[in-house]
Amino acid sequence: MDLSIKTNSLVGLLGPNGAGKTTTIKLLSTLLLPDEGTATVNGFDVSRQANEVRSCIGVVTGGERGLYWRLTGRENLLFFARLYGVREDMARPRIDELLKLFELDDRADDNVEKYSRGMKQRLHLIRGLVHDPPILLLDEPTLGLDPNSAVVVREFIKEKLQRNQGKTILLTTHYMEEADQLCDKIAIIDHGKVIANDTPGELKTGLRKTDVLRINATGVPSSLSSDLKQVEGVEEVKMSVIDPVTGLTELLVHTRDAEESLPQLTELMVKSGVRIRLIEQSKPSLEDVFINLTGRRLRD
Give the x/- contact pattern for other proteins in 67-106, rule: CB under 8 A.
xxxxx---x--xxx-xxxxxxx------------------
- Region 201-220 residues binding other proteins, contact defined as CB under 8 A: none
Give the x/- contact pattern for other proteins in 16-55, rule: CB under 8 A.
----------x--xxxxx-----------------xx-xx
Contact 187, 197 (CB under 8 A): yes
Q: Which helix (H) or strand (E) holds 262?
A: helix 258-271
Shortest Å, Cβ 71 to other proteins: 6
Q: CA-to-CA distance for 95 and 56, rounded, in angstroms?
A: 18
Shortest Å, Cβ 69 to other proteins: 8
Nearer to other proteins, 54 or 185 (CB): 54
Q: CA-to-CA distance for 247 and 217, rounded, in angstroms?
A: 8
Give the x/- contact pattern for other proteins in 121-150, rule: CB under 8 A.
------x-----------------------
3-state secondary structure 79-140: HHHHHCCCCHHHHHHHHHHHHHHCCCHHHCCCEHHHCCHHHHHHHHHHHHHCCCCCEEEEEC
Is residue 61 within the footprint of other proteins (CB under 8 A)?
A: yes
Nearer to other proteins, 30 or 149 (CB): 30
Shortest Å, Cβ 191 to other proteins: 17
Nearer to other proteins, 65 or 271 (CB): 65
Shortest Å, Cβ 51 to other proteins: 5
Shortest Å, Cβ 167 to other proteins: 17
Q: What length is written for the chain? A: 300
Q: For residue 60, which of 107, 105, 123, 13 has the smallest C-alpha distance?
A: 123
Contact 47, 53 (CB under 8 A): no
Q: CA-to-CA distance for 201 and 240, rounded, in angstroms?
A: 25
Return the number of other C-beta atoms located less than 10 Å from residue 52's C-beta: 16
Nearer to other proteins, 38 or 51 (CB): 51
Q: Which helix (H) or strand (E) holds 243?
A: strand 234-243
Shortest Å, Cβ 116 to other proteins: 17
Residues that bind other proteins (CB under 8 A): 26, 29-33, 51-52, 54-55, 57, 59, 61, 64-71, 75, 78-80, 82-88, 111, 127
